[in-house]
């Protein structure tokens, strides 16, 4: 029995694509929570907006027989990059709306409002079939540069695309956070009153941080949608869409982009490994319940990290700005 190198490589590629997409979400959250101290409990909402926006922008309106089965209000048939851009912008707009409402109030209001947004969007896409085909969702999203390589190698190409986005976002955040702008964010996180006393408009900086983080999440959503080539409302659950990402950032290192990426890969590895275990090891009678062990694990992980090691595996780097 030979070892199937090709099979292992292609498994690793699809693992790395998902882990890298989650690392992007985790970096988006890092801008909001790690650098600014904003609690977004509705990452699933921005994930959802990003995925659906890109889906509606890049697919054509259904025609012929397909039109009998698929309802879709918008179908712009634009290229992949336009879809990603639209995803980032729409996601940012929603974040701005929520931010305008809540960022002047105590921090908890943002947390509950983002939960509300995420749940409402999920309900909306589920119950309004005219918009994006209801619970069945949209399929057949275009894959960028498809046909450039033989189909069996396509995942490697997509991995390269995702990693390029990851690198760009990483560089952008690192530059931003080392700039005077980033310094204000971190100052605000440490002491809001002092920052305000130094003449910085705390509300405006918080709003910018929330929007930038949400735009990154929107991009992550679009990348996910084009990878799976399908979007359904049932994907954007509080666990799969939000709390797994909190676990990633908290474990990896709040306030550190390398930690955010590390956490993305580590937690996604544990998650996929547990899926494999449940499918192959757990007795059949317990199969439907076993996945929920992960709820307990992620929940406890969050509590223990916050209590014992609030900075995660890699703590925040000491940063000295260039003048």
124 sits near other proteins (criterion: CB under 8 A): yes
CB 63 within 8 A of CB 71: no
Minimum gap (Å) between residue 275 Cβ and other proteins: 15
Which region among 49-57, 118-126, 178-186, 205-213 touches other proteins (by CB under 8 A)?
118-126
Minimum distance between the CB of residue 253 and other proteins, rounded to whole angstroms? Answer: 15
Rule CB under 8 A: say whether 270 interacts with other proteins: no
**Looking only at residues 28 through 47 of this chain, which bind other proteins when binding is defined by CB under 8 A?**
37, 39, 41
Taking the C-alpha atoms of residue 6 and residue 266, their distance in angstroms, rounded to an integer, is 23
> d(Cα 126, Cα 59) in Å, to the nearest integer?
19
**61 touches 72 (CB < 8 A):** yes
Binds other proteins by CB under 8 A, chosen from 129, 140, 176, 238? 238
**Residue 95 Cβ, how far from other proteins at the closest point, in Å?**
14
> Pattern 271-290, binding to other proteins, x per CB under 8 A?
-----------------xxx
Q: How many residues does the chain have?
A: 323
CA distance 26 to 257: 8
Among 40, 58, 90, 102, binds other proteins (CB under 8 A): 102
What is the enclosing helix (H) or strand (E) of 138?
Answer: strand 138-139
194 binds other proteins (CB under 8 A): no
> What angle, 0 to 180 degrees and rounded to 10, lies between the N-to-C axes of helices 154-178 and 5-29?
30
Binds other proteins (CB under 8 A): choice among 10, 78, 119, 274: 119
Q: How far apart are CA 71 and CA 60, in angstroms?
A: 12
Scanning the chain, the segments in alpha helix (DSSP H) are: 5-29, 43-58, 66-69, 80-102, 108-127, 129-132, 154-178, 180-190, 192-197, 202-228, 244-252, 257-280, 293-308
Which residues touch 39 (CB under 8 Å, ≥6 apart)? 32, 33, 107, 108, 110, 111, 114
Least gap, CB of 299 to other proteins (angstroms): 3
Binding characters for other proteins, 147-176, by CB under 8 A (x = yes): ------------------------------
* Helical spans, DSSP H, in 231-256: 244-252
Q: Which of 10, 14, 78, 126 forms a contact with other proteins (CB under 8 A)?
A: 126
Mask: binding to other proteins, 294-323, rule CB under 8 A, as x and -?
Answer: xxxxxxxxxx--xx--x-------------
- Interface residue list for other proteins (CB under 8 A): 37, 39, 41, 101-102, 104-109, 111-113, 115-117, 119-120, 123-124, 126-127, 238-239, 243, 246, 288-290, 292-303, 306-307, 310
């Amino acid at each position: 029995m030979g070892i199937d190198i090709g099979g292992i490589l292609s498994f690793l590629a699809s693992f790395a694509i998902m882990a890298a997409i989650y690392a992007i979400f985790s970096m988006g959250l890092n801008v909001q929570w790690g650098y600014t101290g904003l609690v977004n409990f509705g990452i699933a909402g921005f994930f959802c907006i990003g995925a659906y926006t890109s889906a509606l922008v890049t697919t054509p309106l259904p025609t012929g027989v397909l039109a009998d089965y698929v309802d879709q209000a918008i179908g712009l048939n634009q290229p992949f990059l336009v879809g990603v851009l639209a995803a980032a912008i729409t996601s940012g707009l929603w974040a701005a709306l929520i931010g305008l409402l809540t960022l002047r109030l105590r921090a908890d209001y943002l947390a509950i409002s983002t939960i509300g947004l995420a749940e409402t969007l999920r309900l909306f896409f589920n119950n309004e079939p005219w918009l994006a085909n209801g619970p069945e969702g949209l399929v057949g999203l275009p894959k960028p540069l498809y046909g450039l390589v033989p189909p069996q190698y396509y995942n490697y190409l997509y991995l390269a695309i995702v990693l390029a986005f990851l690198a760009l976002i990483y560089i952008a955040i690192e530059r931003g956070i080392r700039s005077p702008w980033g310094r204000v964010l971190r100052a605000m996180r440490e002491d809001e009153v002092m920052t305000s006393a130094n003449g910085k408009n705390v509300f405006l900086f918080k709003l910018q941080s929330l929007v930038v983080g949400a735009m990154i999440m929107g991009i992550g959503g679009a990348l996910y949608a084009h990878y799976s080539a399908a979007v359904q409302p049932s994907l954007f659950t509080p666990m799969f869409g939000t709390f797994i990402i909190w676990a990633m950032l908290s474990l990896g290192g709040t306030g550190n982009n390398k930690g955010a990426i590390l956490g993305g890969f580590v937690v996604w590895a544990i998650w996929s490994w547990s899926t494999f275990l449940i499918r192959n090891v757990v007795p059949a009678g317990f199969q439907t319940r076993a996945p929920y062990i992960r709820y307990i694990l992620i929940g406890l992980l969050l509590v223990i990290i916050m209590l014992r090691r609030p900075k995660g595996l890699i703590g925040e780097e000491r940063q000295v700005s260039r003048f």
